[in-house]
Amino acid sequence: MPSTTPFDFSSIPVISYPTSSEENGKFITSLQNALISTGFFYLSGAPVSPETISNLVSYIPKLFALPPEEKDKFAMVHSPHFLGYTRLGTEWTKQKVDWREQIDIATPMTSRWNGKEEERWMNIWGPSQYPDESVLPGFKDAIDTYQAEVTKLGNQLVRFIAQALGLGPDGLDKFYEVPQKMQHRGKIVAYPVPDKEEGERGQGVGPHYDAGFLTILLQASSHPGLQVQNLSGKWIDASPKPGTFVINFGRALEFATQGIVRATSHRVLSPPATDEWRKIGPRYSVPFFHNIDMCVRMGDREKYGLECEDSHTSLHPLLVEPKSSMIVSEEILRLRDARGTLGNTDSVNYSEFLTEPSGKVQLVGRVKSHPDVGEKHYPELFKKLFPNGLPN
C-alpha cells in the first residue's frame, strides 16, 4: 500500500523523470503522493535540453540590465493580454506590494476574442511583447524555444497526473483545447536585494496559489527564498537544487479533482539585505504556468450553466461529480482522507473558479496583481475590484 508524506511535511520530495516504460509505474506512484500530500515536488532528469536552459539563463542578467526606456517599450501596460515588462513596485499580492521585476511571455498565439463585449475576458490570451531584436539579439528565440520544450513536458506531465489519479493517460484531456488553441504563460523574474530591511525579510512575492493545473519552475540562480506552506501552516524552504525543476499544482486542478489534489500556498522572500548578497546580485527564476482551456468552468453546470461557445466541446464534467459517479478509485480517496482537509490559508485563492470560465478567473487574478494594466484595458472590471482606485 503506498504511503503518503505527512501533511506537516518538512521537506519536498525529489522525483526522477522516468526514462523507460518500466519506470513509469514508480514515477506515477511518487507523483500520486506529491499530488495529494505536498502539492510540490522537485523533478530531476526532465526532458528539457540543458543547452536550451543554459542559453535562456545566460540572457537573464542582460535582460534586466536593459536601460529603463528600452524596457518601457515592451511594458505590460501596453498589453491587454498582461504580457510584457513589469517594473519594481507595481505588482501586488493580497494588497501588499511585491518586490520583483519581471517580463511575462506566453507561448505564441493571436487573441481569440471576437469583439463581443460580454466576452472581453477572452482577450486575456494574445501575442507577447519582446525586447527589440537589435537590443537583445537571440533572446526571443531562446525564450520561445524554452517555452516550447517546457510546454511538451507539461503536456506529458498532465498524462502522468491523469494516471496517478487512476484515470487513463487521456483522462484530463477534456480540460484542454487542441494545442493550437492553447496558450501557456511564463515569466522571467528578478528579485533584487532590498536596500534595507525592516525586521523580517521582504516580500519578493506574497503568499498565493497558482491558478492553473501545474507550474514548472526553473530556479535560475542559487538563492534561497522560495517557501511552501504545509498543512499545519509552517513555511518550508524549497531552495534550488541543480538539475531540477520545481513542479507545483494550481487551484484549477484542486477544483477539478474536488480537493484530491493539493494546490499549495507558496511565497518568495527577498534576498537578505546584506552586502554579501548585494555582491551576488538578484535572485532569478522562470516560472511557467501550464494553462487549461480558457472556456472550462469548474462549478456545477446545473447551477451555473454551460461554458463559452468557442470551446471544442460544450461539456467539461468534473472528475468527481458532487454525489455520484466517483471515477477515482477508493484507494485515492483513502489517501486524500489520510492527508486531511485543505485548510483555508491567507493566500490569494481564486474562488471564482466555481462560477466563471477559467479565462475569466485568470483575468480577475491579473487585474488584482497588475491593477495599472487592468485600469487601462479593463476599466469596468477594474472599478469593481478597486472601487477606491489604484492601490498605493
Which residue lies nearest ligand AKG, judged by its C-beta?
Answer: 285
Number of helical H runs and strand E runs in the chain: 11, 14
Pick between residue 205 and residue 332 the one whose CB is nearest to ligand AKG: 205
Pick between residue 119 and residue 210 the one whose CB is nearest to Fe ion: 210
User: ∠130-135-138 over CA atoms, to 5°?
Assistant: 65
Of 175, 107, 178, residue with least CA distance to 140: 107
Pick between residue 150 and residue 217 the one whose CB is nearest to ligand AKG: 217
Which residues in 183-202 contact ligand AKG (CB under 6 A)? 189
Q: 48 is written with which cell numbers? A: 528539457
CA 323 to chain centre: 30
Among 91, 101, 104, 210, the residue binding Fe ion under the rule CB under 5 A is 210
Backbone CA torsion sign across 366, 368, 373, 379: positive
Pick between residue 228 and residue 335 the one whose CB is nearest to Fe ion: 228
- Count, residues near ligand AKG per rule CB under 6 A: 10
294 binds ligand AKG per the rule CB under 6 A: no
- Count, residues near Fe ion per rule CB under 5 A: 1
Look at residue 167 and give the partner it binds from Fe ion, ligand AKG, none, a contact being a CB closer than 5 to 8 Å depending on partner kind: none
Angle, helices 139-164/21-33, rounded to nearest 10 degrees: 80
Q: 168 is written with which cell numbers? A: 487513463
Q: Which helix (H) or strand (E) holds 280?
A: helix 275-280
Look at residue 30 and give the partner it binds from Fe ion, ligand AKG, none, a contact being a CB closer than 5 to 8 Å depending on partner kind: none
Separation of alpha carbons 351 and 100, rounded Å: 25
Separation of alpha carbons 91 and 279, rounded Å: 25
Pick between residue 39 and residue 287 the one whose CB is nearest to ligand AKG: 287
60 binds ligand AKG per the rule CB under 6 A: no
Separation of alpha carbons 192 and 29, rounded Å: 38
226 binds ligand AKG per the rule CB under 6 A: yes
| Range in contact with Fe ion (rule: CB under 5 A) among 104-112, 185-193, 210-218, 313-321 | 210-218
Look at residue 226 and give the partner it binds from ligand AKG, Fe ion, none, a contact being a CB closer than 5 to 8 Å depending on partner kind: ligand AKG
Pick between residue 27 and residue 353 the one whose CB is nearest to ligand AKG: 353
Contact footprint for Fe ion (CB under 5 A): 210
